[in-house]
Chains A and B, each alone.
Chain A
Amino acid sequence: MAETVIAAAPAIAAPAPPRTVIEAEKLNIAFAAADRPVVALQDVDLTVAEGDFVSLIGPSGCGKTTLLRAIADLAPLTSGTLTVNGMSPDQARRNRAYGYVFQAPALFPWRNVQRNVTLPLELIGMTKEERERRAAENLALLGLKDFAKKFPWQLSGGMQQRVSIARALSFNPSLLLMDEPFGALDEITRDSLNLHVHELWRRTGMTAVFVTHSIPEAVFLSTRIVVMSARPGRVLRVIESRLPAQRTLDMRDDPAFVAVAHQVRESLREGHSYD
């Protein structure tokens, strides 16, 4: 018994050299419009290393969702380069490199919670037994063990969004992309889900890109905060957060936390986000 533990320990503790997961260089995205093209992103540079938790924050229309969608190959690039795991976004998507959490839960109402979580596993072609084992694991991770047989409309909004996170995690992606997942939820629910996400990220060591409007949420979750400005969408500043790895809700009153939050707010002001 003891030997197994010793053998397993170094594997967990060994610090892997940080690998670049996402690399964007001079990224431009424009959408065709009636009179002239709308520039959603202009000359965006971004590097996300393995294990990072990067938040994209900025006013409405700053292109943060567009950037996330470009990473996920849900929006086409106009120019510039973008790689995910060293591949083009299209190849990365084909390799199922990431799990994606949308603004709304986007659950299928005709499937119960368990079958919503197993949906991506069905597409991979996993056996029913294995699918259900994985679903049970991920549902337990998000505190939804007792709700596997419920239907989405029987759950609260916060629980539905937790199901959608469990679904995104079901095939163990090393990259999790989240697009304002808690924007529609009340603050108490949001706090509890932030804790869930933080715990998941700490436990799995995965890389996360998180789009948000909320300064406290960004500071609480992130290792790096990318502040963006609107019209055209640009990266204003990247703020490193040196808060301890293990975070608690109470930490939000600490001077260190307040200082980072203040820095984010000042950067947003520089970008005329409050005009």
Chain B
Amino acid sequence: MISLFRRPLPFVTVMAALIVSWYAAAYFLNAPQAINLMDPDDTNNFWAVVQAAWSMDRPVLPTPDQIAANLADSIFNYPLNSPRNFLLQTAYTAETAITGLIIGTLLGTLIAIGIVHARVLDRALMPWVIASQTVPILAIAPMVMVALGNIGLTGLPPKAAIVAYLSFFPITVGMVKGFRSPDSMQLDLMRTYNANGAETFFKLRWPVAVAFLFPSLKVAVALAVTGAIVAELPTGAQVGLGARLLAGSYYGQTMMMWGALVLASLLALSLIGCVRLGEVALTRARGGRL
């Protein structure tokens, strides 16, 4: 991240190329419809067609400035508690993602501890852990909703459960690797001190494994935001960015869909930023190396 600010040119170049091709794509995708809606006399005027293609009410592909204007309108022209305000929807999704992420991290770590400390759990759990991720989340999400809804759990808990289901996996894989990282000499050393399992865990295995937690968390964050959005779809699309996405696609409101996409990626980025902050803080505490 720091290199991004010190040497911005590579990033800015790619960004510029993306924006140029975006506007070009918006022209090619929107022009046929724009021409249909235009005054027939203007259709030979290239610049007029371009302007029309870039400013349609319901474009196939909205331009970045349209998406930005639409977002700004939703954020500044509606009160924070209005469902039309994108920030409110983002907050719902963030709540789901963060709650699920915390549960997933705790669960993933607990499973990893079990797998590392008991051979029987290694054999019994690991195949299920892997199998759990081969089931498409889109198929399992509605079933979780129905099952948990039946026992009276609605709203946040079932959505957080789906996020946890997705995000525990990278944590488990990373932490199993981390807990197994101490070399035989370090383990022998603890044995010469007559350290018990808990002491070896807290003085050796955990400090080693924490370094593996951060890369796992970054993967988990991406999965958590995706999971939160997927989890918002089968509830009848009431709240959250997922609901906005679904509503947008029902009504052909592409700008609404893109707005939700932009905010979802900003949400994921800021969560990854938080993970990075934790990583930097720990690295500092360890004298500059994790």
Contact = CB atoms under 8 A, between A and B. Distances in A.
Main DSSP-derived SS at the A contact region: loop
A93 B203 contact: no
Contacts, number: 52
Contacts of B183: 106
Nearest to A124: B193
Contacts of A33: none
Contacts of A99: 192
A110 B203 CA distance: 10
B192 A151 contact: no
Given A104-B185, A151-B286, A151-B289, A74 B207 contact: no
Q: Which of B186, B189, B192, B199 has the most chain A CB atoms closer than 10 A to its own CB?
A: B192
B191 to A, nearest CB: 6
Contacts of A108: 186, 204, 207
Interface in A134-159: 150-151, 153-154
A150 B286 CA distance: 10
A93 B207 contact: no
A96 B82 CA distance: 67
Contacts of B189: 100, 102, 106
B192 A110 contact: no
B288 interface: yes
Contact of B287 (A94, A120, A154): A154
Given A110-B207, A110-B286, A122-B203, A102 B194 contact: no
Interface in B180-239: 183, 185-186, 188-189, 191-195, 199, 203-204, 207-208
A74 B289 contact: no
Chain B interface residue number, banded: 20 to 34
Interface string A74-98: 1000000000000000000110101
B188 A96 contact: no
Nearest to A151: B287
A11 to B, nearest CB: 30
Given A74-B188, A104-B185, A119 B203 contact: yes
Given A108-B186, A123-B203, A100 B289 contact: no
3 smallest A-B Cβ distances: which pairs? A151-B287, A106-B185, A100-B192
Interface in B104-122: none
B186 A74 contact: no
A169 to B, nearest CB: 13
A120 B204 CA distance: 12
A120 B289 CA distance: 23
Interface string A241-264: 000000000000000000000000
Contacts of A150: 287
Interface string B101-142: 000000000000000000000000000000000000000000
Contacts of B287: 112, 150-151, 154
Contact of B192 (A98, A112, A122, A154): A98
Given A72-B192, A119-B203, A106 B186 contact: yes
